Amino acid sequence: MPKTNKPDYSNVEPETSPIGPMTSPLSILTGSIPAVTGAMRTVSGRTGPQYSTKQIVVAVIALAMGGFAIGVTEFAIMGLQRDARADLAINEFEGGLLISFYAFGVVLGSPVLALMGARRERKSYGMFLLGFFAVAHLLSFIAPNYEMMLVSRFLSGMPHGAYFATAALIAAHMAGPTRRARAIAAVLSGLTIANMAGVPLVVWLGQLWGWRTMFLVAALIAIGTMVAVGFAAPRQ
C-alpha cells in the first residue's frame, strides 16, 4: 500500500483570543467574552502594563461591591413583601410584580446596555451603569404610587447583566491570563455575599425603618462603588 503523508501540525500556532491563548474550556469561555464586548487593548503580563497584587485586589473588591448592591436589591424585596403591599395598598399578585418587573429589566436591559458598551472605555462605562442603578433606586425610594414603583423597579434591573460583564472584563484585564478566572470569580462573589449577609441585614433594617430603606441602601452602596472604582480601577 502506498504511504500517505500525515500533515505536520508541529508549527501550527494555537488559537488565540484578544486576551491570550485559549488552551482550556475555561480559557475558551472567558476568552470569548471580548468578541461581544470589545477587545482588550492591553494584557497584564503580555503586552500591557503590569499591575501589582495589591492593585488587583483593591480593584476587584471595589467591583465586587457593585455585585453586592445588585444582590441586595434583587432579593431583599422578597423579605419585605408584606410591608411593601401594606404601604402601596396592593394585593399579593401586584406585590409579586415588584419582583417580576426587576427581572424584566434584567432580561431586556442587559443585552441592550451590553451592546451599547461594547466599544466604550470600560471603567467609565461601568461607572455610568452604577450611576444608572443608583438613580433608579432613588426613584424607587421616593416613588409616590404603585405604577411609578413598577417603572423604577424595571429601570433598576436594566444595568444588572451589563455591569457584571463590564466588571468581569475589567478584573480579567488587570489580572492577566493566568489569574483572570480567579479575578472574575472574586467579582461575582459580591452577589454571593449579598445573599449570605447583605439581604438578611437589609430586610432587618427595612422592618425597623421602613421597607423603602432597601432602595436607599442599594443606591448608597452603588455610589460608594462608583467612587471606589474611580480610584482603584485603571482606564481600559
Q: For residues 228 and 65, is the Cβ–Cβ distance under 8 A?
A: yes
Residue 22 has pLDDT above 50, yes or no: no
Domain annotation covers residue 184: yes
Q: For residues 53 and 184, is the Cβ–Cβ distance under 8 A?
A: no
* Confidence label for 97 from pLDDT (cuts 50, 70 and 90): very high
170-194 residue pLDDT tens? 999 888 888 888 999 999 999 999 9
Residue 95 has pLDDT above 80, yes or no: yes
Who contacts 66 (Cβ-Cβ below 8 Å, separation ≥6)?
126, 130, 133, 163, 167, 190, 221, 222, 225, 229
Q: How wide is the angle at C-alpha 66 spanned by C-alphas 65 and 70, nearest 5°?
A: 115
* Lowest mean pLDDT, pick from 57-61, 133-137, 200-204: 57-61
Domain annotation covers residue 236: yes
In which domain, by residue range, is 181 found?
Answer: 101-236
Domain annotation covers residue 44: no
Domain annotation covers residue 65: no
* Confidence label for 33 from pLDDT (cuts 50, 70 and 90): very low
- What backbone torsions phi and psi does residue 80 show, to the nearest 5 degrees? -115, 20
Domain annotation covers residue 162: yes
* Confidence label for 230 from pLDDT (cuts 50, 70 and 90): confident
Domain annotation covers residue 227: yes
Domain annotation covers residue 139: yes
**C-alpha to C-alpha distance for 164 and 184, rounded to whole angstroms:** 9
What value does the mean pLDDT take over residues 128-149? Answer: 95
CATH number at residue 140: 1.20.1250.20
* Lowest mean pLDDT, pick from 48-52, 126-130, 198-202: 48-52
Domain annotation covers residue 85: no
- Name the 3-class secondary structure at 207: helix
* C-alpha cell recorded at residue 15: 488559537
Residues in the chain, total: 236
Given this model, what pLDDT does residue 201 score? 94
Question: pTM (2 decimals)?
Answer: 0.75
Given this model, what pLDDT does residue 3 score? 54
**How many C-beta neighbours within 10 Å does residue 126 have?**
29
The Cα diameter of the chain in Å comes to: 87
State the total domains in the chain.
Answer: 1
